[in-house]
Structure 1
Amino acid sequence: MTAGLRLPPDNRGDAPLFDPRLFPVDLGPYAERVEHLSRQLAASAVERDRDGGSAPRERELLRASGLLTLAVPSAHGGQGAPWPLIYRIVRQLAAVDSSLAHLFAFQHLQVATLQLFGNPAQQRHWLGRTVQERWFWGNATNGRDRRLHLNRRDEHYELNGCKSFCSGALGADALIVSAPRGHSSDDRVFLVLPTQREGLAINDDWDGFGQRQTDSGSVQFENVFVHSEELLGPSGASPRSTLRACLSQLVLVQLYLGNAQGALEAALRYTREQARPRAGAEVLSASDDPYAQQRFGDLWLRYRSALPLAEEAAQRLQAAWDRPALTAAERGEVALAIAEAKVVSARAALEITAQIFDNLGASATSARHGLDRFWRNVRVHSLHDPLDYKSRDIGRWLLNNQLPTPSIYS
């Protein structure tokens, strides 16, 4: 068991990063490594959030941790960790540094893409290089950005155009790219592209007010050469291949809950150690204020209500992942479980990260504490795709027994 909450910079030693009574989590054989990495990221998280930009040093900490190959099957030299465990690690990292947790999670999403769409030879090659060369993966797969096109040129292909929201692209060794062949939006394929390829320009132009170090800027492609063997295959070829969207959506759930956890831990610690009782509270300690107790109790219940849904969704995803083939109904049931977890966790995280300040007072809004970063991170990610459509999917299933169908967001 390990734990997970950020300590103030002046409180070091052997104390757990998070209160283990409140946030127990089983990370199996990776507990010590995750704890160590979390402490490393926490040491500069507030300052780096203020600065924005990229975090090359911290990306190297992720690489050095040996955790970037968790999703690579053992047959290809990786660790073959199950998805529920990978998602717990994402959640723990998000509680201290949501941006780096995002990059960590998207590494595994790209590795999964290779497994879902690559043929056996491609998987051996690209997953093998991922392990042997300690590759960091980025992406240029924004399905709503239609400015990038792939055209055939004799025995090879060529990419021209632009993609936005390319998380992890800056500083990556290779990208997973999606593009339609020619100008047909119906024939969209995934492909692998090393970032040193001529004609590829990765821009440092991400300026969101949250998730500030996810390197989610744009990528320009100008006559970029693509080998035929770098094409992974058509999107949506089978129900199992469409699990990629489910994997991506469940990443967001972990980021929501990680930020909620980090906000709760930081607020509890601030209340115990720094907050003063409210005027008229007639108590000596802010921790004894009955209204603070009531508010924290309510916020805790929101977090606790969301957590089991996230765990259940991860288990359902793993069961689907382990099947060599899926029916459309089996795939839809996984998407439904993830939709439930996403709506509940996003709403809980938005409330928790905003309402902690009702307990803390004006002094807690000082930039040196960085307590607003949790809300900013959740707010940015909660806009990734509308929660209303997830609730609609759930209602449609309740009323008409109609499961979610595959899309870029479900």
Structure 2
Amino acid sequence: MALTSLSLPLADAPDHPEPVLQDESPLSVARRLAGHFALSAAERDARGGTPKAERDALRASGLLALSIPAAQGGLGANWATTLDVVRILARADSSLAHVFGFHHLMLATVRLFGAPAQWQALFEQTSRHRWFWGNALNPLDERTLGHARSSWLEFSGQKSFCSGALDSEMLIVSARHAQTRAFLVAAVPTQRSGISIADDWNNFGQRQTDSGSVTFERVRVEHQEILSNPGPLSSPFACLRPLIAQLILTNIYLGIGEAAFEDARHYTLNEARPWPASNVARTDADPYILSQYGEFWLGLEAARALADRAAAGLDRAWSRGVRLDATERGELALAIAGAKVSAAQTGLDICTRMFDVAGARSTHGELRLDRHWRNLRTHTLHDPLAYKIREMGEWALKRTFPEPSFYS
């Protein structure tokens, strides 16, 4: 079955539009959406808050069903295509790429941790109703406890860094079992009684990811909503979840770096003036500027190659299913770690030095070109690169694979 997309106009789309099958690839739809999102990205970065119209455009596009198999009403895309869409969106607006990528990460969580009856039903509902999934898992925040009741569990507590929770229909949530201390992961409706989502995300980057806090006040969670068969990180295949998260971030970082490169290039060619001591008539003839662009390009080419190689590896691992073994998983973890470090380091370098080659005019406040650095800096702090490099060092010296966790 060829990949197609269900797409509608960006404006005035109904909440649950009737599907309109068009001969348009997911990448083409993503590029069209990205062009639209880019027009308001700087202004929305200044405003912060929920990008409601843009999230609704993603709903209407059909791309929320991109990674869902055709058997459950989705588009049946592989991970390479899904990650390409994340990267395309990140070039225009990394906040929207973030919530879109995490939506597909939440779907992968249901698939990897849940039983077939759970994920198949949830995939079908997501495809039919164009649900947006949000994140309230955050394994480092253990303030939420699950208390056993007669025939259900009661979640109470709070989670931070809950990307995409606002304006979502479904949430992946986690808690520590109050009695057994087991780590519980569940899929629940966002509007369930007792769930409160705060509009309290006000960081200097990724300002429209709605990555604030979620509070649970005696929330009833049914046993059939707990993803316990096979459960969190219970097998090499289930341990693909953190690797998918890492590769989504890699493509967000790469998209940010590519956007910063293109913005710098535009201002170098159209606005920057040659420095008097350069003895050249045009900025694009300055040897120091040309040298920096060569370094930028080389870094991006390397990061792209590593990211694409890792995406191909993820698809191979995904196709293995429960047959995936620890060695195959470990090799993929190393490939993704290398891609992530490369994308982050290259992106931070370009986002910092772009003003050296674009010139003083590029610092005009309304352009908000500093958002590239702010977005990338905000995101890369949540999973320190030094520990990724150490993992690769453990392999390089001692041939030890990264220990599976929610971050490796």
TM over 0.5: yes
Query: Paired residue for 1:69, among 65, 68, 71?
Result: 65
AA of the residue aligned to 1:192: A
Give the whole-Å Cα distance in 1 for the aligned partners of 2:222 and 2:282.
66
Superposed counterparts of 1:151-166, under 5 Å:
151-166=147-162
Structure 2 counterpart of 1:219: 214
Counterpart for residue 88 of structure 2: 92
Secondary structure of the residue aligned to 2:337 is helix
Equivalenced residue count is: 382
Retained in 2: the 8 A contact 1:151–1:181? yes
TM-superposed CA distance for 1:255, in Å, is: 1.0
> Quick one: distance in 2 between partners of 1:347 and 1:31?
26
Native 8 Å contact 2:94 2:256 kept in 1: yes
Deviation digits for residues 163-189 of structure 1, max 9, x if unmatched? 00000000100101122222544x212
- CA distance in 2 between partners of 1:252 and 1:228 (Å): 31
SS in 2 for 1:180: strand
1:47 matches 2:55: no
Give the stretch that moved more between structures: 310-319 or 275-284: 275-284
- Judged with a 3 Å threshold, the aligned counterparts in structure 2 of structure 1 residues 287 and 141 are, in CA distance, closer, same or farther, namely same
1:231-270 to structure 2, matched below 5 A, reads 231-233=226-228, 234-270=231-267
Match of 2:173 among 171, 177, 180: 177
Cα distance in structure 1, aligned partners of 2:120 and 2:288: 58
Measured after TM superposition, the shift of residue 272 of structure 1 is 1.1
> Which segments of 5 or more consecutive residues in structure 1 lack a partner in the other structure?
1-27
The structural deviation recorded for 1:400 is: 1.1
Q: Give the corresponding residue for 1:131.
A: 127
Flag structure 2 segments of 5+ consecutive residues without an equivalent.
1-23
Residue 272 of structure 2 contacts residue 360 of structure 2 at CA under 8 Å; is this kept in 1? no
Change (3 A) 1:280 1:174: same
Aligned match of 1:25 = none
Partner of 1:272: 269
Deviations 1:121-169 (A, max 9, x none): 1122211110111100001010100101111110111100000000000
| Residue 296 in structure 1 maps to residue 296 in structure 2 | no
Secondary structure (helix, strand or coil) at the match of 1:121 reads: helix
Matches of 1:278 and 1:61 in 2, distance apart?
44
Residue 344 of structure 1 is aligned with which of 339, 342, 345?
A: 342
Shift of 1:62: 1.1
Q: Is the 8 A contact 1:162 1:220 kept in 2?
A: yes
Distance 1:386 1:255 in 2: 16
Q: Distance in 2 between matches of 1:36 and 1:83?
A: 20
Distance in 1 separating the partners of 2:361 and 2:266: 14
* CA-CA distance at 1:286 after TM superposition: 1.7
Give the match for residue 325 of structure 2.
327
Describe the superposition over 1:205-259 as per-residue Cα deviations: whole angstroms up to 9, x where unpaired: 1111111100100000000011111111131211110110000011111111100
Q: Is the 8 A contact 1:161 1:222 kept in 2?
A: yes
Q: Contact between 2:132 and 2:169, CA under 8 Å: does it hold in 1? A: yes
Tell me the C-alpha RMSD between the 2 structures: 1.2
CA shift for structure 1 position 71: 0.8
Choose 349-358 or 324-333, whichever is displaced more: 324-333
Of the three residues 375, 379, 382, the one matched with 1:381 is: 379
Q: Distance in 2 between matches of 1:331 and 1:124?
A: 24
- CA deviation string 1:183-206 (max 9, x = no partner): 544x21211110111111001111
Shift of 1:282: 2.5
Which digits, 9 at most, give the CA deviation of each residue in 1:308-339, with x for residues without a partner? 11111111111111112211111111111111
Alignment deviations for residues 35-61 of structure 1 (CA, whole Å, 9 cap, x no partner): 210111011000001111111111111
Counterpart-to-counterpart distance in 1, 2:295 and 2:113: 44
Distance, in Å, in 1 between the alignment partners of 2:123 and 2:167 is: 19
Identity of matched residues, %: 47
CA–CA distance in structure 1, aligned partners of residues 179 and 271 of structure 2: 59
Give 1:202-217 correspondences, 5 Å limit. Answer: 202-217=197-212
Amino acid at match of 2:296: L
Structure 1: distance between partners of 2:252 and 2:168: 21
**Aligned equivalents of 2:196 and 2:223: distance in 1?**
21
CA distance in 2, matches of 1:202, 1:304: 40
Task: Determine the structure 1 residue equivalent to 2:223.
Answer: 228
Structure-2 residue corresponding to 1:113: 109
Q: Is the contact made by 2:174 and 2:183 (CA closer than 8 Å) also made in structure 1?
A: yes
Q: 2:12 — aligned with what?
A: none
2:27, 2:84 within 8 Å by CA — same for their partners in 1? no
User: 2:367 is paired with a residue of what secondary structure?
Assistant: coil
Q: What is the match of residue 286 of structure 1?
A: 283
What TM-score, normalized by structure 2, do the two folds share?
A: 0.91
Contact 1:335 1:404 in 2 (8 A): yes
Measured against aligned partners, the alpha-carbon deviations of 1:269-326 in whole angstroms (never above 9, x if no partner) come to 1111111222222323222222211111111111111111111111111111111221
Kept in 2, the 8 Å contact 1:149–1:183? The answer is: no
CA–CA distance in structure 2, aligned partners of residues 316 and 184 of structure 1:
36
SS in 2 for 1:384: coil
With normalisation by structure 1, the TM-score equals 0.91
Partner amino acid, structure 1, of 2:145: H
**CA distance in structure 1 between the aligned counterparts of 2:25 and 2:52, rounded to whole angstroms:** 27
- Alignment-derived partner of residue 21 in structure 1: none
